[in-house]
Structure 1
Amino acid sequence: MKKSMALLATMLVLSLITACGSNSGNGNSSSQENESVTEGKKTVIKVWTMNRADQEYMNEKIAAFNAENEHNIEIDYQIYSDNYTQSLDIAMATNEGPDVFFDGATAFNDHLLKGNLAPLNDFVTPAFKERFGEGAFVEGINVIDGNIYSLPAISTTPRLFYNKDIFDKVGVTEPPKTLDEMVEVATLITDQLKGEGIYGFAANLKNPAQALSRSVDYILMRSGGVEAGYDFVNGKYDFSGYKPILEAYKEIFTSGAAFPGSESLDIDPLRTQFAAGKIGMYISWNHSEPGVYMNQFPTEQNWSVAQLPTIEETVTGSQHLNLAGRWYFMNANTKHPDQAWKVMEFLYSDELLAGYHENGLGLVMVPSVLEVAENPTTIQNWPELALTEHDKIWPPLPTGVIPEGNDMYFIFNAIILGSLDVDKGLADLNERYNAAYDKAIADNKVERIQYPDFDPANPGKVFGQ
Structure 2
Amino acid sequence: MKKKRIMSIVLAAAMAVSIAGCGSSSESTSNGENTQAEGENSKAPEGATTVEVWTEDRHDLEYVEKMVDQYNQNNKDGIFINLTVITEDYKNMLALAYNGGTAPDVVGANSLPLNTFADTGILMPLNDYIDSDETFQKVNEPYEHAYEGENTRNGNIYFVYSGMRSGVRVEYNKNILSECGYTEIPSKLEDYIDMAKDITKKGEGKYYGIGFTSASSFERLLEMCAQVSGIYYYDYVNGKYDFSGYKDIVELGRRFISEDIAYPDQQGVDNMRALFAEGQFALWSNASQEASVFTNQIPITEFDWGVAEVPSLTGEIKGALQTTLSKAYGIVSTSEHKDEAWKVIQYFQSEEFLKGYLESGYCLPISSYMDGVIDKTKIGRMADFSLLDYESVYPKPPVINLTGDDYRVVLWNAVMGYVDTDEAIKDLNTRYNEALEADVASGSTKRLVISDYDPLHPNDGTITYLDK
* TM-score, L = length of structure 1: 0.82
**Counterpart contact for 1:138–1:463, Cα < 8 Å:** no
Map of 1:415 onto structure 2: 414
Q: Which amino acid aligns with 2:313?
A: I
Match of 2:173 among 151, 163, 166: 163
Deviations for 1:158-195, whole angstroms, at most 9, x for unmatched residues? 21122212222322211132221222232233333363
Distance verdict in 2 for CA 1:430–1:64, change over 3 Å: same
Q: Which amino acid aligns with 1:171?
A: G
**Counterpart contact for 2:210–2:281, Cα < 8 Å:** yes
Distance verdict in 2 for CA 1:31–1:261, change over 3 Å: farther
CA distance in 2, matches of 1:213, 1:413: 9
Map of 1:241 onto structure 2: 245
Distance verdict in 2 for CA 1:338–1:159, change over 3 Å: same
CA distance in 1, matches of 2:14, 2:162: 29
Map of 2:118 onto structure 1: 112
CA distance in 2, matches of 1:418, 1:359: 42
Q: Note the 1:310-389 alignment, pairs <5 A.
A: 310-323=312-325, 327-378=328-379, 384-389=384-389
Q: Note the 1:10-21 alignment, pairs <5 A.
A: 17-21=12-16
Map of 1:446 onto structure 2: 445
**Counterpart contact for 2:147–2:459, Cα < 8 Å:** no
Matched, 1:257 2:256: no
Match of 1:230 among 223, 231, 234: 234
**Higher mean C-alpha deviation, range 388-397 or range 305-314:** 388-397
Matched, 1:462 2:464: no
Match of 2:54 among 47, 52, 57: 47
CA distance in 2, matches of 1:266, 1:93: 36
Q: Which amino acid aligns with 1:240?
A: S
Deviation at 1:429, TM superposition (A): 0.5
Matched, 1:68 2:70: no
Match of 1:303 among 302, 305, 308: 305
Distance verdict in 2 for CA 1:154–1:194, change over 3 Å: farther
CA distance in 2, matches of 1:73, 1:322: 32
Query: Quick check: which one's helix share is greater?
Result: 1
**Counterpart contact for 1:160–1:308, Cα < 8 Å:** yes
**Counterpart contact for 2:16–2:85, Cα < 8 Å:** no
Deviation at 1:422, TM superposition (A): 0.7
**Higher mean C-alpha deviation, range 75-84 or range 146-155:** 75-84
CA distance in 2, matches of 1:115, 1:19: 23
Deviations for 1:55-92, whole angstroms, at most 9, x for unmatched residues? 44334333323333333444444556686556656655
Deviation at 1:441, TM superposition (A): 1.8
CA distance in 2, matches of 1:212, 1:56: 32
Q: Which amino acid aligns with 1:281?
A: L
Q: Which amino acid aligns with 1:241?
A: G
CA distance in 2, matches of 1:194, 1:86: 50
**Higher mean C-alpha deviation, range 412-421 or range 19-28:** 19-28
CA distance in 1, matches of 2:261, 2:11: 40
**Counterpart contact for 1:31–1:76, Cα < 8 Å:** no
CA distance in 2, matches of 1:72, 1:306: 49
CA distance in 2, matches of 1:244, 1:344: 46
**Counterpart contact for 1:20–1:87, Cα < 8 Å:** no
CA distance in 2, matches of 1:269, 1:223: 30
Map of 1:9 onto structure 2: none
**Counterpart contact for 1:304–1:382, Cα < 8 Å:** no
Map of 2:157 onto structure 1: 148
Match of 1:58 among 56, 64, 74: 64
SS of equivalent residue, structure 1 residue 283: strand
Deviations for 1:207-262, whole angstroms, at most 9, x for unmatched residues? 33xx4334333222211122xx1011222111011112222332213443323331
Deviations for 1:21-58, whole angstroms, at most 9, x for unmatched residues? 347846765479xxx99674452523313351x34433
Q: Which amino acid aligns with 2:170?
A: L
**Counterpart contact for 2:72–2:81, Cα < 8 Å:** yes
**Counterpart contact for 1:25–1:80, Cα < 8 Å:** no
Distance verdict in 2 for CA 1:257–1:61, change over 3 Å: farther
CA distance in 1, matches of 2:227, 2:111: 19
Distance verdict in 2 for CA 1:39–1:132, change over 3 Å: closer
**Counterpart contact for 1:25–1:79, Cα < 8 Å:** no
SS of equivalent residue, structure 2 residue 53: strand
Q: Which amino acid aligns with 2:440?
A: I
Map of 1:182 onto structure 2: 192
Query: Quick check: which one's strand share is greater?
Result: 2
Distance verdict in 2 for CA 1:84–1:442, change over 3 Å: closer
Deviation at 1:104, TM superposition (A): 4.0
Deviations for 1:306-343, whole angstroms, at most 9, x for unmatched residues? 1111111111111133217x722233344543333222
Deviation at 1:267, TM superposition (A): 2.3
Q: Which amino acid aligns with 2:369?
A: S
CA distance in 1, matches of 2:111, 2:209: 29
Distance verdict in 2 for CA 1:249–1:336, change over 3 Å: farther
Q: Which amino acid aligns with 1:188?
A: D
CA distance in 2, matches of 1:199, 1:83: 38
Deviation at 1:436, TM superposition (A): 1.2
Q: Which amino acid aligns with 2:414?
A: I
Distance verdict in 2 for CA 1:45–1:16, change over 3 Å: closer
Distance verdict in 2 for CA 1:344–1:384, change over 3 Å: same
Map of 1:218 onto structure 2: 224
Match of 2:106 among 95, 100, 108: 100
Distance verdict in 2 for CA 1:91–1:463, change over 3 Å: same
Count of residue pairs the alignment pairs up: 435
